[in-house]
Amino acid sequence: GQNIDQPTEMTATEGAIVQINCTYQTSGFNGLFWYQQHAGEAPTFLSYNVLDGLEEKGRFSSFLSRSKGYSYLLLKELQMKDSASYLCAVLPLNTGFQKLVFGTGTRLLVSP
């Protein structure tokens, strides 16, 4: 089975940098996703890591260490609109790229 852990809630101030960690234990691994979800809205894709290392996309970066079962999402120059839930999701091996396994999400609150 899979076990995905991420902090329940984090707070940060506008303009700052925040790192949201995600650890996972899985019997097989095909990649890790980060999604952003504003309250009442659809989860939206942020990033996908399958190899070790850092993927950068503007203000958002995602890091993966497969050997450590660890990922983080880094948000720079925080804006108020970044207040949302951030969902870590693993794509297990042998599922035919069919079913994401999600963590419970980290609620980020950005204050002025």
Partner 1 sequence: EAGVTQFPSHSVIEKGQTVTLRCDPISGHDNLYWYRRVMGKEIKFLLHFVKESKQDESGMPNNRFLAERTGGTYSTLKVQPAELEDSGVYFCASSQVTGATEAFFGQGTRLTVV
The site for partner 1 (CB under 8 A) is made up of: 4, 31, 33, 35, 40-45, 48, 87, 89, 95-105
The CA distance from 105 to 87, in Å, is 4
Q: Report in angstroms how near the CB of residue 1 gets to partner 1 at its nearest.
A: 12
Token couple for 16: 């700052």
Q: What are the angstrom distances between the C-alpha of 106 and each of 14, 34, 50, 51, 96?
A: 17, 11, 21, 23, 27
Q: Report in angstroms how near the CB of residue 5 gets to partner 1 at its nearest.
A: 11
Nearer to partner 1, 10 or 100 (CB): 100
Contacts of 55 (CB under 8 A, 6+ apart): 47, 48, 49, 61, 62, 63, 64
